[in-house]
Chain A
Amino acid sequence: MKVVRILTLAGGFGALLFGQQFKFDFDRLAAKASDTVDVSLSGSLLQLGARFLDGSDPDEAKVKKMIAGIEGIYVRHFEFKQDGVWTQPDLESVRSQLKAPDWMRLVGWKSVEDGESAEVFLRLENAKMTGVAILATEPREFTVVNIVGPIDLDALAQLGGHFGVPKLKPDKGGKKK
């Protein structure tokens, strides 16, 4: 069953720029994806979401802190049932925009064996970070992220590794093992 979760409250679509720092035009991929996540949050809607984050939850508190400095977050994430749906031109359509002088490639990794790649780019103005782009691919996944504004990449990476693993509260209960 095709699952399409289009979470675009702020009204950003396809190739249009609503505060994004480069164009996303992935209608073709969206049409073929078995699962799509499409988030475009900026301005007052982003801040509204931040206000509903629970400061007593460790993960939400960290996100709340990270959001404080950013103006927008845009995510296009596609999953496919088979290899070969996304192509190099899809990736190049974004990567070519990140060759502009105000973008700097921070790090990249590629595994020919596994068919995976990931790159992180920073947008700089007067030596200050004003945006981040993450491009990540797997044979059956294609992800583009643009965060507008400065963000702590280490904190973001740490957070990303453990969503869903809560803090330990060992208590009652016997187990058979």
Chain B
Amino acid sequence: MDWLEQELRSALARKEPPPGFADEVAGELAGGARTVVAWPSRVTGRWLAAAAAIILIIGGGVGYRRHRGIEAKRQVMQAFAIAGGKLNHLQEHLKEVSQ
């Protein structure tokens, strides 16, 4: 590990939360019981059957159009990743400057 990595280890060393952290969590937990509701399985089953039928209908063999579509999709995602990444990076820097 070189000097930068050693410095990063030091800079990113774990830090304890402020005093009273555990008490605050305990206080939140004292709020009582919670109820969790799951989706009924018959709804999930019906949607899965419909999705499977659609896949069977449209997935009838790999053709040239499908190949072009998949390639175009890959390019779309890459283009958005680059454009979005640059915007995100710009936003982060503007945020830092405004602080």
B84 touches A147 (CB 8 A): no
Q: Is the CB of B89 within 8 A of A9?
A: no
Q: Is the CB of B72 within 8 A of A9?
A: yes
With CB as the reference atom, state the residue of chain A lying closest to B70: A52
Given contacts A41-B72, A63-B76, A156-B80, is CB(A134)–CB(B87) below 8 Å? yes
Q: Is the beta-carbon distance between A37 and B88 smaller than 8 angstroms? A: no
Contact assessment for A157 and B84 in the assembled complex, using a CB-CB cutoff below 8 Å: yes
A109-B97 contact given A39-B79, A134-B83, A163-B85, CB 8 Å threshold? yes
The total of chain B residues at the interface (CB under 8 A) is: 29
Known: A60-B77, A160-B83. A46 touches B91 (CB 8 A): no
- Give the residue among B76, B85, B93 with the most A Cβ atoms within 10 A: B76
Q: How large is the interface on A (under 10, 10 to 19, 20 to 34, 35 or more residues)?
A: 35 or more
Mark interface residues in A144-171 (1 if CB within 8 Å of B CB, else 0): 0101000001001111110100000000
Residues of A within 8 A of B72 (CB): 9, 41, 45-46, 48-49, 52
A161 to B69, CA, bound (A): 25
Is A77 on the interface with B (CB-CB < 8 A)? yes
Number of A-B contacts (CB under 8 A): 118
A37, B85: Cα distance in complex, Å? 14
- Check if A37 sits within 8 Å of B78, measured CB to CB: yes
In the bound complex, how far is the Cα of B85 from the Cα of A156, in angstroms? 8
A160 touching B84, Cβ below 8 Å: yes
- B53 adjacent to chain A (CB < 8 Å): no
Restricting to B52-99, which residues have a CB under 8 Å from any CB of A? 65, 68-94, 97
Report yes or no: B80 in contact with A66, Cβ–Cβ below 8 A: yes
Q: Are A118 and B86 touching (Cβ within 8 A)? A: yes
Please name all residues of chain A whose beta carbon is closer than 8 Å to the beta carbon of B93 when the two chains form the complex.
109, 111, 116, 118
B interface residues (Cβ-Cβ under 8 A, vs A): 65, 68-94, 97
Told that A73-B79, A160-B80 touch, could you supply 16 new A-B pairs with CB distance under 8 A? Answer: A7-B75, A39-B79, A45-B68, A46-B72, A49-B73, A49-B74, A73-B83, A109-B90, A109-B97, A136-B89, A136-B90, A156-B87, A157-B91, A158-B88, A160-B84, A163-B84
